[in-house]
């Protein structure tokens, strides 16, 4: 094994990725599997999740799909138990499932809309972390990554519930980093900028905008002058959960083309 293979070697590790049926989560599943991990694909989208598990398995890696809504505690608990039953252990949790919620000013947002975003983006991260920790501890340690956003670091005149939720999971990673360091469990947050995924494409369509035109306009606000792709984020997640990231905990990995550097 050369140095690069050693740094990113995930063979013998088991990773659970929420919201992994498409977008950033799907690319993360492909990337961790390519590094040798067995991957548990968790999502509410069964057709896409099953297809991805088939794609990864066909390439010779181990993958399985579980239909899971991260807001349902009993199901979260059961599924993490089943993952360990199937793959033998759990080493990595990537808390990636998320929704953007309505893009309206705060005073136009209903309490129900606000709570739905917090339910998926914050409570979902809490529930998955809560039920993954005992398994990761039993494996002798491991790592957790919370998908925050550049919107969890800087404000913007849009999606208020989303901003709040992403700031919450940023801090949850830091606190868990402190709480579980002695158990050899690392916790970090990743902060993507504008990444071309179904989430953003659907958001533009809902607003009656053509995604291609919207992305062309958005990239003018990015110092690197382009919109990111899921691979940009998956590479950062691989760094954090692999041996390369063994000394990294409580950190914020910003991958945003320079957006927040101003």
By CB under 6 A, name the binding residues for ligand NAD: 18-19, 21-25, 43-45, 68-71, 96-99, 120, 124, 147, 149, 192, 194-195, 197-200
User: Shortest Cβ distance from residue 9 to ligand NAD (Å)?
Assistant: 25
User: Shortest Cβ distance from residue 26 to ligand NAD (Å)?
Assistant: 7
Task: Calculate the alpha carbon distances from 247 to 73, 93, 238 in Å.
Answer: 31, 17, 14
Minimum CB distance to ligand NAD smaller for 43 or for 176 = 43
User: Shortest Cβ distance from residue 230 to ligand NAD (Å)?
Assistant: 6
Return phi, psi of residue 147, to 5°.
-80, 100
Return phi, psi of residue 40, to 5°.
-100, 115
Minimum CB distance to ligand NAD smaller for 57 or for 71 = 71
Supply the residues annotated as catalytic. Answer: 162
Minimum CB distance to ligand NAD smaller for 22 or for 170 = 22
Q: How many CB atoms lie within 10 A of CB 198?
A: 15
Q: How far apart are CA 208 and CA 255, in angstroms?
A: 28
User: Shortest Cβ distance from residue 124 to ligand NAD (Å)?
Assistant: 6
Cα 231 from chain centroid (whole Å): 12
What order do you get walking across the sheet with 63-67 strand by strand? 63-67, 38-43, 14-18, 92-95, 142-147, 185-192, 252-255
User: Shortest Cβ distance from residue 237 to ligand NAD (Å)?
Assistant: 10
Nearest Cα to Cα of residue 95 among 53, 125, 62: 125
Minimum CB distance to ligand NAD smaller for 17 or for 185 = 17
Minimum CB distance to ligand NAD smaller for 197 or for 249 = 197
Q: How far apart are CA 218 and CA 23, in angstroms?
A: 19
Q: How far apart are CA 235 and CA 115, in angstroms?
A: 31
Task: Calculate the alpha carbon distances from 195 to 111, 117, 149, 199, 238 in Å.
Answer: 28, 19, 10, 9, 17
């Amino acid at each position: 094994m050369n140095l690069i293979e050693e740094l990113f070697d995930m063979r013998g590790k088991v990773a659970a990725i929420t919201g992994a049926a498409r977008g950033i989560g799907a690319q993360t599943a492909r990337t961790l599997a390519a590094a040798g991990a067995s991957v548990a694909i968790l999502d509410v989208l069964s057709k896409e999740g099953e297809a991805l598990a088939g794609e990864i398995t066909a390439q010779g890696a181990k993958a399985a799909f579980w239909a899971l809504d991260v807001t349902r505690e009993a199901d979260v608990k059961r599924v993490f138990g089943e993952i360990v039953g199937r793959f033998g252990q759990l080493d990595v949790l990537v808390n990636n499932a998320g929704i953007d919620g309505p893009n309206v000013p705060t005073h136009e947002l209903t309490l129900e809309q606000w709570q739905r975003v917090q339910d998926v983006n914050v409570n979902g991260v809490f529930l998955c972390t809560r039920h993954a920790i005992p398994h990761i501890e039993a494996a002798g340690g491991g790592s957790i990554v919370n998908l925050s956003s550049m919107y969890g670091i800087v404000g913007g005149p849009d999606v208020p519930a989303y901003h709040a939720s992403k700031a919450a999971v940023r801090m949850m990673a830091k606190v868990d980093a402190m709480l579980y360091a002695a158990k050899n469990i690392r916790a970090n947050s990743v902060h993507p900028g504008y990444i071309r995924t179904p989430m953003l494409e659907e958001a533009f369509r809902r607003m009656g905008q053509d995604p291609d035109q919207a992305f062309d306009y958005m990239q003018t606000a990015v110092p690197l002058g382009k919109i990111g792709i899921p691979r940009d984020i998956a590479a950062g997640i691989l760094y954090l959960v692999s041996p390369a990231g063994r000394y990294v905990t409580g950190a914020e990995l910003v991958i945003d083309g320079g957006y927040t550097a101003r």
